[in-house]
Structure 1
Amino acid sequence: MKLFDISMPLYKGVPGWPGDTPYSFDLAWTKEDSGSVNVGKVEMSIHTGTHVDAPYHFEDNGEKVIELPLERYVGKAFVMDVTSVKEITLEHLKNKLPNGTTRVLFKTNCWQDRTVFPKQIVPISSEAVPFLKSCGVKLIGVDMPSVDPLDSKELRAHHALYKHNIHILEGLVLDEVPEGDYELIALPLPLQDADGSPVRAILKELSK
C-alpha cells in the first residue's frame, strides 16, 4: 500500500517561527575523535516543522507531551481539501466532513514555499470547533505552522480546540495527498516536560 510521508524535512535553514530557536545539527563526536562512531546532537524549537502542540504550549495547567493519549495520533483520518478558502469556517465543514470522522487533516496549500516562513496562513475559525466536536473529531492537522493567525496572541482556535478535547498537529505536508480517507501515524516523542514534540507523520492508503 502506498505511504505518503507528510513530514517536513529538518535541515539547517528550515524555517521556524521568527525569533525562536533555529534548527541545527552537529557532530558532538566524530569517528576520528571517538575511535569508533559519529554521534550527533540537535538543537531546535519543538515547534519547528511537523509537530504536535500539547495543551501546555498555551495553557499553564495543560497536559504535557508525556500525558497525551497515543491513540489520538494513530488511526483513520480524512484529508479535506480546502485550498480555495481564506479561513476554515463552519460553512466549509457542514457538507464536506464525512460521518464518523475522528481525525481530519486540512489541506490548504497556503504554504507554497517551505524554504521561508509564511507571511499568512488559513486559520481555523473558533466557531467551527463545536461542530467538529459534535461530529466526533478528536484530532485536527494543518499544513501550516499554526491553527490561528500568525500574529494572534489570543489563540482562539487553540483554546477552543483544547476546551473541546481536540488535539493539534501542525506543519504537515499534504501537497501530493488527494482528498480522502487514510490511516494516520504521527506519534510524538515521550518528552517528560515538553509543550510539544516533533513527529514523523505518515499517511497510509486504506485497502480497497
Structure 2
Amino acid sequence: MPDAPSSPRLWDISPLVAPDAPIFPGDAPYRLDWTARLSPGCPVNLSAITMSPHVGAHADAPLHYANGERAIADVPLDAYLGRCRVIHAVGAAPLITVAHLQHAAQDLPPRVLVRCCERADTVWSDHFTAFAPEAIAWLAARGVRLIGIDTPSVDPASSKSLDSHQQLLQLDLRVLENLVLDEVPPGDYELIALPLKLQGACASPVRAILRELP
C-alpha cells in the first residue's frame, strides 16, 4: 500500500497561560479554582478561571485603545485566519522599523508576524521591543491587515499615547501580541489564531497556531 500523505506541520506559537505568566503591572493574573471535584458524589472535575484577557497570546480589540470602538466579540474574524509571513528581526530594539522589514517585503500576504526576541520572555520586563508607528503604516500600505509580535505590546511599556495602537485603529488593522516565535523559521505559513466571542471585552486570549503550507 502507498504511504499515507503526511499531515502539514504545526507550530504552536502560544505561551503557556499560568499563574506566573508575565503580565503588565496591574493586570489580573491567571488563576484557576476548582468548583467541583470528581468523587463518589460528583461525576466531574469543574474549574473556574479569572484572568486579564491580555495574559498569554492575545488579540487586542479596538476598544482596548479607543472608547466607543468595537469589543472583541464584534471584530470580524477573517484577519485571524489565512496566509501569513514570519519575518525575523531578532535584535531590533527598541522599535521595529521599516528597515527591519524591507528584506521580506516582496509579495507580502495580509498577515505579518515579527520575531524580534531570541527567546520569548518568561518573566516581566519593561524593556521589550515594540513597533514604530511608521512601520505599521508601511505594512498597511502593502495590504497587510494583521500584525503580530513576540513581545507584550506593539507600544513600549512606558508609552502613554500608544502611538502604534492608534495607528492600528486609524488603519483598521488587527494585532496579536505575546506570541512565541522562537522555533519558527522565516517564511510563509497559514495562521490560525481566532479570538473568543467575549461580550464587551477589550481583548481575547488566542491559541495561535502556524500550519505548514502545501
Question: TM-score, length-normalised on structure 2?
Answer: 0.92
Q: Secondary structure of the equivalent of 1:72?
A: helix
Aligned to 2:4: none
8 Å CA contact retained: 2:194, 2:208: yes
- State the match for 2:75 in structure 1: 68
Aligned equivalent of 2:91, options 80, 84, 109: 84
How high is the sequence identity, in percent, across the aligned residues? 42
Q: Write the letter of the residue equivalent to 1:104.
A: V
In 1, the alpha carbon distance for the partners of 2:103 and 2:15 equals 30
Task: Give the one of 133, 137, 143 matched to 2:140.
Answer: 133
Query: Which runs of 5 or more structure 2 residues have no equivalent in the other structure?
Result: 1-7
Assess, with a 3 A threshold, how the Cα gap between structure 1 residues 168 and 34 changes in structure 2: closer, same or farther: farther
Could you say if the C-alpha distance between residues 111 and 155 of structure 1 is closer, same or farther in structure 2, counting changes exceeding 3 Å? farther
Partner Cα separation in structure 1 for residue 210 and residue 92 of structure 2: 24
Aligned length in residues: 206
Deviations, residues 33-57 of structure 1 (Å, cap 9, x unaligned) = 8521110000101111100000000
1:127 is paired with a residue whose SS is helix
RMSD (CA atoms): 1.4
Q: For 2:120 and 2:150, how far apart are their aligned partners in 1?
A: 10
Residue 111 of structure 1 contacts residue 144 of structure 1 at CA under 8 Å; is this kept in 2? Answer: no
Question: Which residue of 2 is the match for residue 93 of structure 1?
Answer: 101
Q: Counterpart of 1:37 in 2: which secondary structure?
A: coil
Aligned with residue 170 of structure 2, among 163, 167, 175: 163
Task: Tell me the distance in 2 between the aligned counterparts of 1:94 and 1:177.
Answer: 19
Shift of 1:32: 2.8
Structure 1 residues 139, 112: CA separation in 2 closer, same or farther (over 3 Å shift)?
closer
**Distance change (3 Å), C-alpha of 1:110 and 1:125:** farther
Contact 1:5 1:202 in 2 (8 A): yes
**Deviation at residue 65 of structure 1 after TM alignment:** 0.7
Per-residue CA deviation, residues 113-134 of structure 1 (Å, 9 max, x unaligned), is: 41x1123111111122221111
Which shifted more, 15-24 or 153-162? 15-24
| AA partner of residue 97 (structure 1) | A
Any conservation in 2 of the 1:55–1:195 contact (CA below 8 Å)? Answer: yes
1:96-149 per-position Cα deviation (integer Å, ceiling 9, x unaligned): 2232421000001165441x1123111111122221111000000000110000
In the alignment, the residues of structure 2 paired with residue 123 and residue 100 of structure 1 have an alpha-carbon distance, to the nearest angstrom, of: 21
AA in 2 matched with 1:109 = C
Matches within 5 A, 1:169-180: 169-180=176-187
How far apart are residue 15 of structure 1 and its match?
Answer: 1.6
Is contact 1:110–1:121 with CA below 8 Å preserved after alignment? no
Secondary structure in 2 matching 1:178: coil
Instruction: Show structure 1 runs of 4+ deviating over 6 A.
Output: none
> What are structure 1's unaligned runs of at least 5 residues?
none
CA contact (8 A) 1:110 1:144 kept: no
Once residues 136 and 121 of structure 2 are traced to their aligned partners in structure 1, the CA distance between those partners, rounded to angstroms, is: 28
Distance across 1 between alignment mates of 2:144 and 2:113: 11
Shift of 1:183: 0.2
Give the TM-score, by structure 1 length.
Answer: 0.94
Q: Is the 8 A contact 2:115 2:150 kept in 1?
A: yes
Q: Secondary structure at the match of 1:84?
A: coil
Instruction: Give the partner amino acid of 2:22.
Output: P
1: CA distance between counterparts of 2:170 and 2:83?
Answer: 23
